Structure 1
């Protein structure tokens, strides 16, 4: 056990063992690596091992900047046009602040315990970082500051666990019972409403969404290319046509003969049913190659924001968009249904599929191609974090309180702005998705491990003092805002049930909850609401960490 007293060894034991424990699944609930890391760190911290505060601050800066960078494009897009759903993030903030304030007065919590309750019950780990930083700026002795930070970590670990279980169970089990609905049926109906029936349900994910096949024209004889494609709802296109020995790329008004070979590509579901309107399938000639391409593009044109997927064909002339499909839509790192009536946002990443020339034209019309380069632009990254750190040093005295963004708030805002700039100019500031994910995962886990190790024996003292109070509060503070949002979205705003439940998961910034919802729904329609509130809550909640610390000090004076 003496090896664990080495800070480097202790850190990686916390990370590895914590994430292993975090994989434990109980029904629809997965503990998660962050909470698992904190549990292990609290245990090892009893031996007195600590990690340098400089490493802790560096890890948190990396995490919070990457969080802002990833959220930037959607955050600013939702600021302009997503407030119908974004209002639920404010419901979350107001309810959680009110409940934590009430608990602080009722149970005489110190600032550390209050901020830990806020972070854990709202299941937003970043709040623990901004609150711990605010605690470190209090005019108190170092030992007292360390005690408050330890209380924050312990309160977070207890309330996060119970708050996570509560919000997952509420959204997947209790809310459908309250609404008296079958969530899977509601999600299926919503997918149909968004146009799934227009293109048909595709095969399981293991099979390709789009395929190419060759058929004898047969019954399709006498139709023009345009009439044939229109009759299939523009889900199947004639990419080439072979007449005799000639391979043609015919215009739209070209009339089909019965013996022509049609080289078709389109959605698998549509291709399966096409044999009823054409002749028998034929083998693909060995000397024929039809170039089809797949390219990711980030949406930059403001006029496209709010447009439906099926309306994209109106952006370019019909001849230029022939054979072009939107294969998937990624928003905030999550895939949302690429159905005809799905509405797009600025910053969405579309995967286009079709002829190379059509794909290239579409990329120019929509925005900019996503770079395939995997290297991180460290110049852009360094400047971004530096700007955030300088911004965090600014302060303002209000009513006897010194308000400052601190490292966390400054880096978060810098990340938002630099992420938005990267979306507008993808050639600069490259931060690949995988790199940003690593920065968030490793940075947060390292920060949490440092907090847990420093908590030490103070963690046991807090648990002995409050017993079951903190777990019960974690459940209440987690579910009451969700219940309020459920009533507002259902009774007042009439939002579709799967989207509403996704909104509630997003206002909690709870990835395990949206994963459980998608599994329960049978499709990804809840993600449509999740990404809006997730983007806004991911900014609002961390910024409130210092506010909770300040209010707690006022209440206990």
Structure 2
């Protein structure tokens, strides 16, 4: 067994993969409808392994923090890509409420940790460590150490700066582990505690924040899905004399709403051209509205055919950005008679908002049309519209991912120091806002930063966060061991849990009851106010929707700054 734990020490990748494997298995186990989930499971398994290595075999795990930081940034960016189009509408709908929920979390956390430590007589440094650990913001330890280093706080007689620093670290380690697991479970089940169905409320929130749109905006998950269409492919045998001997160009002019997509002659697919003429018993494939046109074509063309070659015409769905001023101002009816037959307009977007469809709907420069139809017909329509067909893909745009994350990271590290307190947006908030920005602009033009395969985006989101907590668990386990023992540990555990869980519980109640927020939205604001990214992932898993991430960046960014100020003050006032 010692050799096994030594192996995990020398091969940290093996540790991460083991924690992910066992954590995911444990996270799937459910007792009376309650489960940890993969994130909390991975954190718990990692802490147990690292504590066992330290306590039993004296092996201290230390995995470079750059790995966990990068995984977290991938998660935040991928999450931003999903919620971006709804983010700004969320600000307009509930920005003040999101801020109110965040402030409630911060105030209650500071009061519980500071006065709790003072009430039970804990030594200087413990209060600041409790705030840092229960909030899971390591930077609070930094501002506390800064207060010591600059002389803003002087330890009492008989106590050294090093001892105060050790107190902070011990309180941080104990409260961090307990609050990390506890907040995941609390946030996951808050709607259920208040008698709400998270999935139903999330669906309602998505509808509200989409402005009533029935189709995902360009670039959003599920955008390029065929869905239901009244348009269908049918194959008919040409028997009527008025069609025999006529060219495809002539038929396209006479029947623009029923384009011929394929001609099969003697069991062979003919190459389509304007001068191709129909012969008796040719099989033609057409696509049009079943109710309006196709049901009448048996009388006009001939009997329906089950010829496999004629019916196997693959249909695709694509978003096209209107980039031609020549078509701007035309209606769908006018465009259909100008060489764009064979495609159906599934959705019409302008400035990221879905518009009602109709024959007289006007297309303007910069609009986005979601088209369905055969690939060749979509390509022809896209060329006519002055854009490029964005089709579903298995690939993802790495260039935009790297560039956007770089910009978000650099913005996040910009720091301004006021009275010894560093203020920064934070790299996590910077990357989620970068993802929000890319997806927001893509909703206006699908050619921007895309396409991104939803499976790849979802993998980055899930794997990134779970790998982050696995690395974190390896590094925090040994600190828990060093803090164990005596009544002090029990007080640290109790105050840390109360400081981590009571504030978001009350803030959720205020958001849900007082501000009138949807339960899932209130949950997202509360977990943002608590700065808990794993908590956010928990409510996303519970609700089956990412809509909880809409308020998260607002309360997250605000309380990050407030928590740093509060941590500094807790040290000064100790």
TM-score class, shorter-chain normalisation, is 0.5 to 0.7
| Aligned positions of 1:70-469 closer than 5 A | 70-71=79-80, 74-75=83-84, 78-79=87-88, 82-108=91-117, 110-119=127-136, 128=137, 148=168, 151-172=171-192, 174-176=194-196, 235-237=229-231, 239-240=233-234, 242=236, 244-245=238-239, 251=255, 284-289=306-311, 291-295=313-317, 297=319, 317=335, 320=340, 324=344, 326=346, 353-356=372-375, 359-360=378-379, 361=381, 369=390, 372=393, 374=395, 377=398, 390-405=410-425, 408=428, 426=448, 432-433=456-457, 436-437=460-461, 440-441=464-465, 443-458=467-482, 460-461=484-485, 463-469=489-495
CA RMSD of aligned residues (A): 5.5
TM-score, normalised relative to structure 2: 0.61
Given that 2:113 and 2:495 are in contact with CA atoms closer than 8 Å, whether structure 1 keeps it comes out as no
Tell me the residue number matched to 1:43: 48
1:63 CA drift (Å)? 1.9
Aligned pair partner of 2:521 in 503, 511, 531? 503
Distance 1:450 1:299 in 2: 48
Given that 1:293 and 1:355 are in contact with CA atoms closer than 8 Å, whether structure 2 keeps it comes out as yes
The DSSP-based 3-state class of the residue aligned with 2:310 is coil
| Aligned positions of 1:458-537 closer than 5 A | 458=482, 460-461=484-485, 463-488=489-514, 490=516, 500-507=518-525, 508=527, 510-517=536-543, 527=545, 531=547, 534-537=549-552
1:41 CA drift (Å)? 2.9
Tell me the residue number matched to 1:64: 73
1:147 CA drift (Å)? 5.9
Cα distance change on mapping 1:444 and 1:19 into 2, 3 Å: same
TM-score, normalised relative to structure 1: 0.62
Distance 2:142 2:334 in 1: 51
* Bigger radius of gyration: 2
1:537 CA drift (Å)? 1.0
Given that 2:132 and 2:139 are in contact with CA atoms closer than 8 Å, whether structure 1 keeps it comes out as no
1:4 aligns with 2:17: no
What is the aligned residue count? 459
Distance 1:135 1:322 in 2: 67
Distance 1:362 1:69 in 2: 29
1:534 CA drift (Å)? 0.8
Distance 1:553 1:458 in 2: 24
Given that 1:69 and 1:419 are in contact with CA atoms closer than 8 Å, whether structure 2 keeps it comes out as no
Cα distance change on mapping 1:472 and 1:440 into 2, 3 Å: same
Tell me the residue number matched to 2:265: none
Which whole-Å deviations, capped at 9, do the CAs of 1:250-294 have from their partners, x for residues lacking one? 73678xxxxx99966889xx9xxx99xx99x97632241363433
Q: Which runs of 5+ in 1 are unaligned?
A: 120-127, 197-204, 212-234, 255-259, 302-312, 330-336, 341-348, 519-526
The DSSP-based 3-state class of the residue aligned with 1:457 is helix
Given that 1:117 and 1:155 are in contact with CA atoms closer than 8 Å, whether structure 2 keeps it comes out as yes
1:94 CA drift (Å)? 1.6
Distance 2:334 2:133 in 1: 52
Which whole-Å deviations, capped at 9, do the CAs of 1:286-308 have from their partners, x for residues lacking one? 2413634334549899xxxxxxx
Cα distance change on mapping 1:137 and 1:182 into 2, 3 Å: closer
Tell me the residue number matched to 1:548: 563
Cα distance change on mapping 1:65 and 1:427 into 2, 3 Å: closer
